Amino acid sequence: MAQQVFTYSFKDVHATLAGPGGTISLGNGANVAEEGISCEQIEDKTSWQVGADGSVAYSLHAAEIFRVTVRLLKTSPTNQQLSQM
Report how many domains make up the chain. Answer: 1
pLDDT at 47 over 70: yes
**pLDDT value for 13:** 67
Rounded to an integer, the average pLDDT of 47-56 is: 86
Q: Decide which of 7 and 58 is more confident.
A: 58
Q: 54: left (phi > 0), else alpha (psi -120 to 50), else beta? A: left
Question: Can you say how many angstroms the Cα of residue 82 is from the centroid of all Cα atoms in its chain?
Answer: 17
Mean pLDDT on 12-33: 74
Domain residue limits at 41? 5-84
Sign of the dihedral defined by the CA atoms of residues 2, 64, 73, 75, in that order = negative
Q: Give CA–CA dist 9/36, Å, rounded.
A: 5
